[in-house]
Chains A and B, each alone.
Chain A
C-alpha cells in the first residue's frame, strides 16, 4: 500500500449542543478512492469542511502529505492541491456557464491569473468548452447560472472543481440531483479524469449502488462518529449501518 496522503487525527467539532465530529481519525492512502455515507446531519459535510479549511476543528490535527493544514485557509489548502465540490453547487449566478468555467481555468493555471491576458482568448475558451462537452452540458454554455436546472448546476460545480491539478479530490454528494441515467456516466467521467493523474478521491454519497461500484472503502458516519470504516460489502452488511443509514431492505 502506498503512503498516506491525508491524515486526520482525533477531530472533534461541536456546534453548541450538536456534535458534528467526534474523534474522527482517518488515514487515506495516496491514490485511494473512498466514499462516505451517513444519515442526514451525521457530519459528512462537516468532515469535508474541516479538511478544506472552511471549518476549524475544535481539537485534532489534519495532515496533508505530512504538512499540518489544520489552521490553513481554504485558499491555501486549495493551492496545496486539495479540491472539493459542494453539496449545494457554488457557482457565480450572474455569469454564464462558460464564464464560470473560464474563471476556474484562469485561476487554475500554473502561472497566476493575469491582468493582461484575455480571459476569453480562443485557446482557453476551447479548453473550457471541451470540459463542458465532456460533462455533456455544453448546450447550456451561454446561459446564466440562475437559469440552469439543478442537475446541470451540480455537473458544472464538479467540472469547475476538477479542473486544475488536484492531489486530493473531495466530492460532496456529486450525484444528488443528477438524473438517474446520468449518474453512472458522471461518476465514470470523474473517476476517469482523476485516475489518470492518480488523484485521491473521497466522495459523499447516499446512493449505495455508486458506493459499491466506485469506492474501495467506505466511511460510515453516524452522529459525528465514524461507525464503520471498511470495504463496501463489509460496511453495507453491518447491522447498525443498515438500521441507521441504508435501511433494512436494501
Chain B
C-alpha cells in the first residue's frame, strides 16, 4: 500500500514536470509542424534566466518577501520567451517554412548547437543555485510519505497550464483559427487569418512553456549548461506516446511515463533506463500514431 502510494505520488510529480516540459514541444509541433530539437536548450535557458532572476531578486533585498521569488522565476521565463521566441521564429525558422520536415528538424538542431555554446558564453560553466524557492513552502507528510511542498506546486502549475492551453485551443474562436492554420496555412490566409502572427505567437508560447519548465526546475537542480540535452529526448517520447500535437495526449503520456518510471525505480531499478522506450514501443505497437492519434482525413 505504502509502496503503491509512493509510486503514484512520485509518478505524478515526475509526470507533472514532464508534462510542462513536453507541452511546448507538442504545441509547436501541432501548430507549426516543427519538431523543435532546441526545446531542451530553451528549457535550460529558462532555468538560467529564472536562476538569474531569483538571484537578482534576493540580491535586491527580496529576503523580506521571499515568495516574490516565484514571480521572479516566471518573469525570467517570460523574458526568455519574448526575446528568443520572435528572434528564432521571425529571424530564422520563417525562412524555412515549406521546406521538408526533416530540414526544419535539422535547423532546430543547428539552433540547439548554437544555444548550447551561447549559454556557456553568457553564464559560464559554473552552476547557478537558487534553492530558496524549493524549500520555501516547507514539507508535506502523509503518513510515511514525506515530500517537499514545492513538488506539488509543480503539479498544480502543470494542471493549470495544461488546462489553460487546452481551453484556448479547443474552446475559443482563436483556438479554432489556430486549428485552421495547422491544417492549411494558405487557405487560412485567404479566409482572413494573419498566419504569420499566429505562428509568431504560438512559437513564442512554445518557448515560454519550455522556459517555464526550466524555471520551475531551476530551484531543484544546479543549473548548468548540459541540463537541456536529456530533457529533449524525454519530451519527445512523451509527445510521441501521447500522439503528436495533442495536449491531452501529452498529459496522459507524461503520466504514463512518470508512473512507469516510478514503479521501475521502486520495484526494478535495473530497468529504469529502458522504461521510457519500452512504454513508447508498447504504446506504438497498439496505437501506431500515439494514444490520441488524429483521425485521418478522407483522401478518396
Contacts and interface: CB of A to CB of B under 8 A. Distances in A.
A87 B300 CA distance: 7
B300 to A, nearest CB: 5
A49 B299 CA distance: 11
A88 interface: yes
A49 B300 CA distance: 8
A246 B22 CA distance: 54
A54 interface: yes
Interface string A177-192: 0000000000000000
Contacts of A45: 300
Contacts of A49: 300
Interface residues of B, number: 2
B98 to A, nearest CB: 12
A86 interface: yes
Interface of B is mostly: loop
A172 B299 CA distance: 13
A54 B299 CA distance: 11
A76 interface: no
Contacts of B299: 88, 90
Nearest to A15: B298
Contacts of A87: 300
Interface in A227-245: none
A88 B299 CA distance: 8
Contacts of A86: 300
Interface string B272-300: 00000000000000000000000000011
Interface in A34-83: 45, 49, 54
Nearest to A87: B300
Contacts of A90: 299-300
A111 B93 CA distance: 47
Contacts of B300: 45, 49, 54, 86-88, 90, 172
A174 to B, nearest CB: 14
A45 B300 CA distance: 8
Interface in A83-127: 86-88, 90
A45 B299 CA distance: 11
Nearest to A54: B300
A239 B291 CA distance: 50
6 contacts: A45-B300, A49-B300, A54-B300, A86-B300, A87-B300, A90-B299
Q: Which 9 A-B pairs have the closest CB atoms?
A: A86-B300, A88-B300, A87-B300, A54-B300, A90-B300, A49-B300, A45-B300, A88-B299, A90-B299
